[in-house]
Amino acid sequence: MRNALDQLLLPAECLLCRALLPFRDSQRVVCDVCRHRWRPVRAPWCGRCGQPEPLFGRCRLCADWPAALVLARSAVWLDAGARAAVHALKYRGLPRIAADLASAMASLDPPGLAAAWLVPVPLGPGRLRERGYNQSDCLARALSRRWNRPVVELLVRTRDTATQTALTPEARLANVAGAFRVRSGECGMRSEDRPRDSALRIPHSALERPLILVDDVFTTGATLAEAARALERAGARTVLAVTFGRAVVPDFT
């Protein structure tokens, strides 16, 4: 219903360049040309956090990550077009754009995907009320359709955290410290997402699987590391993370 309304209200034109979308792409929000302009993040990178390797010495970005967080990858660099797409997803009430973003993320193909569950990074209660949806949840659900893996809302954010944009790496860590906890009960799964295998309903066995955190943007990785820490404390052994965008130049290095 919501989609049908969107379709009526919004002309089928690309959100970024305003070109008219061909009829077959009328479900899309971003045209092919704009999507091809998104610049993929490519190797050489730190094998763990996916950041371009420093010229000298070891990567410091992921040095303090919890052991369970073994890999993080992002689809594209967050320069102008990609940033506008994320902005639309978060602030312009366009969760439909998640499908376009997920199409760029699908090729990330993280190891262990065949058995993995997708875990959206949750929003705090205040922000969720304000926005009406969680953009990471929209991305996870769009990816779930491509990867055919279930979305499991294992995490809750216990408090609203200040926006990370203007913070130094240290302040970012402090800002999100202790902000997540693992949901009890049936992992917060909606009944239609619950795997048929009844053994999987036990939260404990969920923690044996690779869990893939899904978020919109990777800047310093502080949020993902903290979310992984909560999963690790609850017994998860392997946590991976995928994001659509990666900050072009970390704000602080």
Closest contact distance (angstroms) between CB of 144 and Zn ion is 26
Residues 55-94, interacting with Zn ion (CB under 5 A): 59, 61-62
Closest contact distance (angstroms) between CB of 174 and Zn ion is 20
Of 58, 42, 60, 40, the closest CA to residue 50 belongs to: 42
Q: Are 191 and 158 in contact (CB under 8 A)?
A: no
Select 189 or 217, whichever has its Cβ closest to Zn ion.
Answer: 217
If one asks whether residue 34 binds Zn ion (CB under 5 A), the answer comes out as yes
Select 69 or 187, whichever has its Cβ closest to Zn ion.
Answer: 69
Number of shown-chain residues binding Zn ion (CB under 5 A): 11
Q: For 221, left (φ over 0), alpha (ψ -120 to 50), or beta?
A: left
Piece in contact with Zn ion (CB under 5 A), picked from 48-56, 81-89, 95-103, 205-213: 48-56
Q: Are 208 and 39 in contact (CB under 8 A)?
A: no
Select 16 or 99, whichever has its Cβ closest to Zn ion.
Answer: 16
Select 69 or 234, whichever has its Cβ closest to Zn ion.
Answer: 69
DSSP one-letter string for 182-249: E--SSTT--GGGS-S-GGGGSHHHHTTS-EEEEEEEESSSHHHHHHHHHHHHTT---EEEEEEEE-SS
State the residues that interact with Zn ion by CB under 5 A. Answer: 14, 16-17, 31, 34, 46, 48-49, 59, 61-62
